[in-house]
Amino acid sequence: MYNDDNIFAKILSKKIPCKLIYENDFALAFYDIFPKSKIHALVIPKGKYLTFLDFTSTASLNEVQGFFAALKETTELLNLPNGFRVISNTGKDGGQEVPHFHMHILGGEDLGPLIRKP
């Protein structure tokens, strides 16, 4: 169940600010407030979707296309010629903290292996 009080819903409604990178009709891209790499951005759909699965199974084709276009534009604006990593944490095992679908773009340095367990 989507909760309108989540932090990304508040960013979308401009109740709290963000460091904007890119915006189109369907998505917003901004810098992560607690960066996990030298460059760390988030891309979120403007619609109310809880998870990756919720988004990919219920969003319209326009929304999906608009979201991935924003993701692509954002990686270009961030200028990451040596590459980057795109991640979507989903649910409890995926470590999802904010219950509004989002994708992380991480880069600006060698990120090492995909998973580093403590």
Q: How far apart are the first and last CA of the chain?
A: 31
Return d(Cα 60, Cα 74) in angstroms, integer. Answer: 21
Identity (one letter) of the amino acid at 39?
I
Return d(Cα 59, Cα 106) in angstroms, integer. Answer: 25
Q: What angle do CA 22, 23, 28 make, to 5 degrees?
A: 95
Q: Which of 40, 100, 102, 104 is catalytic?
A: 102
What does the per-residue mask of binding to ligand AMP show for 35-54, with x meaning CB under 6 A?
-------x------------
* Binding residue (CB under 6 A) for ligand AMP from 68, 69, 89, 111: 89
Q: Quick check: 14 binds ligand AMP (CB under 6 A)?
A: no
Q: Quick check: 33 binds ligand AMP (CB under 6 A)?
A: yes
- Is 102 in the active site? yes
Q: Quick check: 6 binds ligand AMP (CB under 6 A)?
A: no
